[in-house]
Amino acid sequence: MSGPSHARVTVVRGDITTQHVDAVVNAANRAMRGGGGVDGAIHRAGGPAVLEDCRRRFPDGLATGDAGWTTAGELPARWVIHVVGPNHRAGETDRRLLVSCYARALAVADELGARTLALPLVSAGVYGWPREDAVAAATETLRSTPTSVTEARLVALDEATLALVEDALRR
């Protein structure tokens, strides 16, 4: 058996909660209790089991840049890997924290044995990370981090984001 290589990074336009993958990556907040955007959508679609598992596994939440997993509840995925992205609007502008979200998500996927992931653009929504750099951080990290994940699927909510990611993947 060979060791880790690198994930094939793909992109689709769609709803992250309907992706048929081993694990869905959630852009969570530090409290890990649900919220807006991707976080709220994942908690709504996954049902109460996701929040219950967050409370049990992460009573004190997670640090910015870190990742942890819970059940996926009613989602088609088996697990949710929660990452806490930096809040650019609140002054958290250290790009290493954003890169860490993707690297840690891959590491947690490897621990779980997850081979396919669906990921949002972490911190690019309400947290205000500049979209072009959010795309670069995601694609560069997912392409360069050794992992046993075979597909890292970025899920774009709109055509503009889809086009940005497709352009980055062509480079």
- Which residues are known to be catalytic? 39
Cβ proximity of 81 and 117 under 8 Å = yes
CB atoms < 10 A from the CB of 48, how many? 10
Q: How far is CA 64 from the centre of its chain?
A: 13
Residue with tokens 């807006």: 36
Distance between CA 106 and CA 7 in Å, rounded?
9
Strand arrangement of the beta sheet that strand 8-13 belongs to: 8-13, 151-156, 116-119, 23-28, 79-84, 67-71
List strand residue ranges (DSSP E) for the chain, in order. 8-13, 23-28, 67-71, 79-84, 116-119, 151-156
